[in-house]
Structure 1
Amino acid sequence: MSIWWSLHLRRDAASVPLARRLLLGTMETAGVDPDVSYDLSLALSEACANAVEHGGDMASDGASAAYSEAYRVTAYLDGEKCRIEVADSGPGFTRAQPVRPAPSSAENGRGLCLIQELADHVHIGNKPGRRGAVVSFDKILKWKKDAPLVAV
């Protein structure tokens, strides 16, 4: 069994639950274990929130923001694995350092760490040769008993 979909979403907070609900609905229909579905949907929400908040282009003078209006979410359920990619057209990541947890007093900065805890494999980087960040992650799927779309 193989399912994939891709969304081109506005950089607006309302787009985050839309992507999450589509992923949850796809997984429920396929028969993925609810705990795995929840972990992936939470990781997707964090990646989308990062794209909404940080995924815009800065003006060349750096003073004002001329934001790109969209970001892309792609999900693949292929065999026993789900892979999700969230790509934006912002400035990308400026350093190749490992992601570190935010201080406990910080109001944000925990999303990438949370994604790393929820997924089996995570890649955080920039689009090759272009501006923009790409956060991709995958997780081995577990299935409900008698799942309708499990490959036999």
Structure 2
Amino acid sequence: MSIWWSLQLRREAASVPLARRLLLGAMETAGVDADISHELSVALSEACSNAVQHGGDRSEVYRVTASIHGDVCRIEVTDTGPGFPAGATIPLVGRREPSQPRELSVGGRGLRLIEALSDRVRFDNQPGAGGAIVTFDKVLKWREGALLKAS
């Protein structure tokens, strides 16, 4: 069985815990292991916080899309801000290289946290319209008797 859901949230700090609680509720209902659910919710909180902070002036909203297919959960957070700097090496956030744009060395701990908590992560820019796309995958572990456990 697979499930998919999408949220459009206002770019306000209050939306971050809302997104986190919705994800945790869905994971609990599906029967996902509590530790995995917690890791996903922290990564989601970081991605949402980035969208709230850097989402740009063109839109007052950002989008969260999540899906479970088999044993993998994929979460995507999309905003309409300036996106990631061209040529930036996102995994090096926090360790400034001479050729690396300064914007990524100032903060960016959330991006590193998303990487640490995910099995696969991509930091992209939306084509044309602009905006950042943070996509991360996590292999799920299930509780005994889980509703969505892949057979």
Superposition TM-score, scaled by structure 1 size: 0.87
Partner of 1:145: 144
Deviation string 1:71-108 (CA, Å, 9 cap, x unpaired) is 000000111100000000001111333222437xx984
Give structure 1 stretches of 5+ with no counterpart. Answer: 58-66
Which residue is equivalent to 1:32? Answer: 32
Matched, 1:102 2:94: yes
Structure 1 residue 73 corresponds to structure 2 residue 72: no
User: For the residues of structure 2 that align with 1:41 and 1:136, how far apart are their CA atoms?
Assistant: 14
If the length of structure 2 is used for normalisation, what is the TM-score? 0.87
Are 2:117 and 1:114 aligned?
no
Q: Which residue of 2 aligns with 1:83?
A: 74
Q: Which amino acid aligns with 1:86?
A: V
1:148 Cα deviation after fit: 2.1
Is the aligned partner of 1:16 residue 2:16? yes
Q: CA deviation at 1:129?
A: 1.9
Quick one: which amino acid aligns to residue 135 of structure 2?
Answer: S
Deviations 1:27-82 (A, max 9, x none): 0000001111011100000000000000113xxxxxxxxx5200000000111100
* Residue type at the aligned position of 1:39: E
Match of 2:98 in 1: none
Cα shift at 1:150:
1.6
| Residues in 2 aligned to 1:82 and 1:33: alpha-carbon distance in whole angstroms | 12
Size of the aligned set, in residue pairs, is 141
Q: Distance in 2 between matches of 1:27 and 1:13?
A: 22
Alignment match, 2:45: 45
d(CA) in 1 for partners of 2:93 and 2:136?
18
Q: Percent identity?
A: 63
Please tell me the residue identity of whatever aligns with 2:78: A
